[in-house]
Amino acid sequence: MGSASREALAAAKSALSGRLGKAVGSELLSASAQIESSPALVSALADASLPASAKAEVVGKLFGSLSAGARSVLTAAVEQNWSTAAEFVDGVEELGFRAQSLAEPGLADELLAATATINSSHELELELGNKLGDPAAKAQLASKIFSGKLSAGALGVVTHVVSNPRGRRVNAALTEAARVAADQGGLELATVTVAAPLTDAQQEKLAALLEQTAGRKVKVTTVVDPALIGGVRIQMADDVIDGSVRARLDDLRQRLAA
């Protein structure tokens, strides 16, 4: 996000306080999808030249069916100045993820579990991630797969993501949603890719080292990828530490080819 959008999001997050209803997260996600589907509406609500009061009035007219809590958060978002219209939509969506996380503290874990299920099946990843596929059909498929396995809120996030890909890969979008949910709960999310499973002691030591770097508790998700050969690859937020044997071999090949 651009600097203006980061400031806008930080300001809008202050509205995620007090007693928000459990449905606020799903309401905001629905609102983000509705806004994104209308270029004219995106342009109007993200227009920095329009007075904040005028944009708040648009929210009142078009989103009057939302709960008071959802309207207050959406109004706080439209009253800010965002770097781009697309980042405004991203921001509303993120506020939805955060609101849902407040209602369901275990949301990050559920979304990571759903991502692991999707990653375990190439066919499923293709079906749910098909950018040309019918959004309703993809949402129906996701509901069929995860119904009874995820909470209603987590299932709502998954169906939202598969229905509104916006150029994103479904597994990457769900991982980002999990990161946002973890952040709302005061945790940093780290994805650790290794060639072979870590022992409990190794996981505890790694988590402790990452917590020193992040300055807060870190939730570690381990992915086993034999193609790494050895070593470890760590991704935490936008930072990637690649100490795998495969990365070193790739670097050596590039040096030899130069």
45-76 pLDDT per residue, tens: 999 999 999 999 999 999 999 999 999 999 99
Q: Distance (Å, rounded) from C-alpha 245 to C-alpha 253?
A: 12
Query: pLDDT at residue 236 above 90?
Result: no
The answer on pLDDT for 238 being more than 90 is: no
pLDDT in tens, 173-207: 999 999 999 999 998 888 888 888 888 888 888 88
Q: How far is Cα 258 from Cα 252, in angstroms, rounded to an integer?
A: 10
Tokens of 117: 């299920």
Give the full edge-to-edge strand order of the sheet including 218-224.
Answer: 218-224, 188-194, 232-236, 239-242
- pLDDT tops 80 at residue 257: no
Instruction: Give per-residue pLDDT as tens, 9-36.
Output: 999 999 998 778 889 999 999 999 999 9
Question: How close are the terminal C-alpha atoms of the chain, in Å?
Answer: 35
The pLDDT-based confidence of 157 (bands split at 50, 70, 90) is very high
- What is the C-alpha to C-alpha distance for residues 21 and 198, in angstroms, rounded to an integer? 40
User: d(Cα 64, Cα 110) in Å, to the nearest integer?
Assistant: 31
Cβ neighbours, 10 Å, residue 26 = 22
Higher-pLDDT residue of 222, 161: 161
Report residue 144's pLDDT band, with 50, 70 and 90 as the boundaries: very high
Q: In terms of Cα–Cα distance, which of 179, 199, 185 is closest to 239?
A: 179
What is the average pLDDT value for the chain, to the nearest integer?
A: 89
Question: 152 and 139 in contact (C-beta within 8 Å)?
Answer: no
Q: What are the residue ranges spanned by the domains of the chain?
A: 3-103, 107-183, 187-257
Overall average pLDDT of the 228-234 stretch: 81
Q: Which tokens belong to 11?
A: 């300001």
Task: Give dist(CA 198, CA 222) in Å, integer.
Answer: 8
Residue with token string 């505890």: 204
CA angle 18–21–23, rounded 5-degree value: 145
**What six digits make up the tokens of 82?**
């965002």
- Structure confidence at residue 62 (pLDDT): 94
Residue 154 has pLDDT above 90, yes or no: yes
User: Picking from 39-43, 117-121, 137-141, 248-252, which range would have the lowest pLDDT averaged per residue?
Assistant: 248-252
